[in-house]
């Protein structure tokens, strides 16, 4: 136990922490420490506490009356800080493990997303090949089937290009309605040619019905 001539604890003003914590205001001192000082007046100066002979200020200048001491007299602030420092490697290892898990999760999500895109492309290519096979079979079959296949292909291509569709006019071929107009329309179902034809047919039907009613 060292004291200096001034009656203060051996921690001098050169201690880096002494300025902040060495002379704590009485408000911070526990009631217990005040009682203790009363019953056991300082022997070796204000740095000494009662009959215990323990220094009030630890080597780093903490007021142990306020901070507390463990059974061996060690300053509890220093003890907590030492324990915190001792656990630093474990904390860093845990943080590194967390970062590694996050990176692995991220990589797994990226892998799944890549697989999903590849699967979509694979299915798209498969559907394209199937459509092309069907188209070639239809062309080979000739007649109405080939005509219908040509129209649908042209219609798909026009729609994909955007803004236009093909006129959906159908005429009967071999007893079945078949698309056969390749004119583009912007919003109408039929092109202007077939719109006029439709009007003529409606007018013809109207006259036909009127004739039937009169006769
Ligand atoms: Zn301390
Ligand atoms: Zn048309």
d(C-alpha 152, C-alpha 156), whole Å? 6
pLDDT at residue number 43: 46
Distance 189 CA to ligand 2 centre (A): 9
> Buried (b) or exposed (e) across 171-183, using 16+ Cβ within 10 A?
eeeeeeebbebee
The per-residue pLDDT of the chain, averaged, comes to 83
pLDDT at residue number 197: 95
Of the bound ligands, which one is closest to the alpha carbon of residue 181?
2
Whether the per-residue pLDDT at 23 is higher than 90: the answer is no
Of the bound ligands, which one is closest to the alpha carbon of residue 80?
1
pLDDT at residue number 169: 95
Reference 77, options 52, 56, 60; nearest CA is 60
pLDDT in tens, 51-79: 455 678 999 999 999 999 999 889 999 99
Whether the per-residue pLDDT at 16 is higher than 90: the answer is no
Whether the per-residue pLDDT at 194 is higher than 80: the answer is yes
β partners of residue 179: 170
pLDDT in tens, 79-136: 999 999 999 999 999 999 999 999 999 999 999 999 999 999 999 999 999 999 999 9
- Show me where the domains of the chain are located: 18-72, 87-141, 145-215
pLDDT at residue number 114: 98
pLDDT at residue number 45: 44
Distance 24 CA to ligand 1 centre (A): 13
Distance 61 CA to ligand 1 centre (A): 6
Dihedral sign from CA coordinates of 56, 62, 65, 68: negative
């Amino acid at each position: 136990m060292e004291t200096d001539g001034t009656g203060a604890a051996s921690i001098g003003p050169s201690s880096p922490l002494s300025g902040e914590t060495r002379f704590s205001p009485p408000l911070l001192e526990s009631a217990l420490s005040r009682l203790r000082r009363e019953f056991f007046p300082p022997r070796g100066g204000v740095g000494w506490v009662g009959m215990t002979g323990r220094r009030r200020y630890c080597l780093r200048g903490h007021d142990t009356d306020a901070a507390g001491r463990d059974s061996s007299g060690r300053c509890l602030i220093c003890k907590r800080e030492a324990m915190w420092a001792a656990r630093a490697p474990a904390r860093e290892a845990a943080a590194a493990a967390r970062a590694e898990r996050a990176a692995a999760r991220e990589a797994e999500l990226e892998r799944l997303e890549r697989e999903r895109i590849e699967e979509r492309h694979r299915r798209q290519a498969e559907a394209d090949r199937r459509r092309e096979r069907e188209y070639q079979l239809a062309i080979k079959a000739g007649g109405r089937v080939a005509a219908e296949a040509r129209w649908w292909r042209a219609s798909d291509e026009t729609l994909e290009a955007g803004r236009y569709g093909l006129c959906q006019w159908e005429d009967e071929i071999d007893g079945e309605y078949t698309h056969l107009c390749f004119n583009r329309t912007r919003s109408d179902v039929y092109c202007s040619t077939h719109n006029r034809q439709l009007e003529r047919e409606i007018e013809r039907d109207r006259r036909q019905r009127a004739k039937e009613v009169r006769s």
